[in-house]
Amino acid sequence: MNIKSPQTLISEASEQIKTISADEALKLNNENKCNLIDLREESELINSGSIENSTHIPRGLLEFSLNSNSPLIQNNVIDINKEIVLFCAAGGRSALAAKTLKDMGFKNVSHIDGGFGAMRNDGFKVKK
């Protein structure tokens, strides 16, 4: 049996998705050109804080939360005409999630290399 490791899955996903730096994400955010989506678990937000102006969707709920019938899209909480920028703690979950959204048919999807840690270091406002 040949079971792929998470690292292999992330590596394969990274070949098919757009990866941006925290600086690039900050620019998109400041220009109101993206939806910042935090994929971390609730406990991670409680422990580390959250990024201002981000929408929290735990990774396990992503496919259910971002589809054409979901309240987040129906009520324009997520503007699908803007880039969807995903982040997690370090970048692994967001890489896999970006590939999933691409597989679902989303076109403007990227994820942040280095995740929350890079964002915190590059000027994003963190709220507790």
Element (H, E) at 18: strand 18-20
Is residue 10 domain-resident?
A: no
C-alpha separations of 47 from 32, 41, 87, 91 in Å = 27, 10, 16, 18
pLDDT of residue 1: 81
Number of domain units in the chain:
1
Task: Let me know if residue 6 belongs to a domain.
Answer: no
In a domain, 25, yes or no: yes
For 47-60, write each residue's pLDDT tens digit.
999 999 999 999 99
Phi, psi of 104 (to 5 degrees): -75, -15
Q: Residue 68: how many CB atoms within 10 A of its CB?
A: 9
Which residues have a Cβ under 8 Å from the Cβ of 100 and sit 6 or more positions away? 62, 63
Mean per-residue pLDDT, 55-81: 94
Place of tokens 């999933």: 100
Q: Is the pTM of this model over 0.85?
A: yes
Domain that holds residue 118: 19-127
In a domain, residue 3? The reply is no
Q: Parallel, antiparallel, or unpaired for β 18-20 and 109-112?
A: parallel
Residue 98 confidence (pLDDT) above 90: yes
Residue 13 lies in a domain: no
- What is the band of 119 on the pLDDT scale with cuts at 50, 70, 90? very high
Question: What does the pLDDT average to over 36-64?
Answer: 96
CATH of the domain at 62: 3.40.250.10
Q: Is the pLDDT of residue 128 over 90?
A: no
